[in-house]
Amino acid sequence: MATVLSVSGSPSASSRTNRLLRHLDERLSAQGHDVIPLDVRTVPAEALLGADLRHPAITEAAALFARADGVVVGTPVYKASYSGVLKALLDLLPQYALTGKTVLPLATGGSTAHVLAIDYALRPVLNSMGAAHVVQGWFTLDRDITAHEDGSVTVAPGPAEALAQVVDQFSAALGAPVPAPAPAPTVLAAAG
C-alpha cells in the first residue's frame, strides 16, 4: 500500500504523544502500510537550532518526507501550540515538502482548552507546505492515555474508538487517488 512517515514532535522519548503514535503505527502497519517512525527529538539540536540544512540528519529527514505518500504528525500541545522541536524541523524542510501528501495531524494535551491547536496552529503550517489533503485530526487528553512500563499504551475506550476512526479515514484517503482538476467547459458554436 502506501509509505507513511509517522513524525513524533515530542521532546521526550517516554511521552504519551510518542507512545500513542507508535501504537497507531501498529494499526497502520496492520492495514498494509509501510510505516517509518521519525522522532524529531533524535535529530541533533545543533542541526535544528543552527538551521544546518546540510547536516546529514536534516537531509535524511527531508528524504523521508519526500519518500512518504502520507504523513502522520503528532505533537504535545505546549502553550496552545505544537512543540518547538517540531516547529524547528518543519522550518528546515523544503517549503513544499508535503506536496501531494495526505497528512493526519494528532495532538495530546492536559486540557480541552488546547483542542483548537490542531486547527489554528498546526493545520495552517501543514497546508502552507503543500499538503494535498489534511484529514480530520484528533486531540487526545493526557488522562485518556495510560503509558505502561513496557512502552505500550492503553487509550480510554471513547478516545480509542475516535482515534481508530481518524486513522482509518487517513488510511482510506491514502488509497484514494487525488481527484484530477475538472476540465474547462467546452463551448460549442451553433451551426448556422
- Note the pLDDT tens digit of each residue in 71-83: 999 999 988 899 9
In a domain, 63, yes or no: yes
The predicted-structure confidence for 89-103, as pLDDT tens digits, reads as follows 999 999 999 999 999
- Asked if 75 contacts 82 with a C-beta cutoff of 8 angstroms, the reply is yes
In a domain, 166, yes or no: yes
In a domain, 182, yes or no: no
Q: In this predicted structure, what is the pLDDT of residue 175?
A: 83
Q: Where would I find the H helices in the chain?
A: 16-30, 45-49, 56-67, 84-92, 117, 123-128, 157-175
Instruction: Indicate the number of domains in the chain.
Output: 1
In a domain, 189, yes or no: no
**Residue 151 confidence class, pLDDT cut points 50, 70, 90:** confident
Q: In this predicted structure, what is the pLDDT of residue 179?
A: 39
Report the SS3 class of residue 48.
helix
Q: In this predicted structure, what is the pLDDT of residue 177?
A: 40
In a domain, 184, yes or no: no
CATH of the domain at 92: 3.40.50.360
Angle between helices 157-175 and 16-30 (to 10 degrees): 50
The pairing of strands 138-141 and 102-109 is parallel
Q: In this predicted structure, what is the pLDDT of residue 14?
A: 84
Q: In this predicted structure, what is the pLDDT of residue 186?
A: 42
In a domain, 163, yes or no: yes
The predicted-structure confidence for 13-44, as pLDDT tens digits, reads as follows 889 999 999 999 999 999 999 999 999 999 99
Side chain identity at 55, as an amino acid letter?
Answer: H
In a domain, 34, yes or no: yes
In this model, does residue 184 exceed pLDDT 80?
no
In a domain, 54, yes or no: yes
Q: In this predicted structure, what is the pLDDT of residue 133?
A: 94
In this model, does residue 181 exceed pLDDT 90?
no
Mean pLDDT of 126-135: 95
DSSP-derived secondary structure for 105-136: EEEEESSGGGTTHIIIIIHHHHHHTTBSEE--
Residue numbers of the domain that contains 33: 3-175
- Whole-number Å distance between alpha carbons of 63 and 147: 31
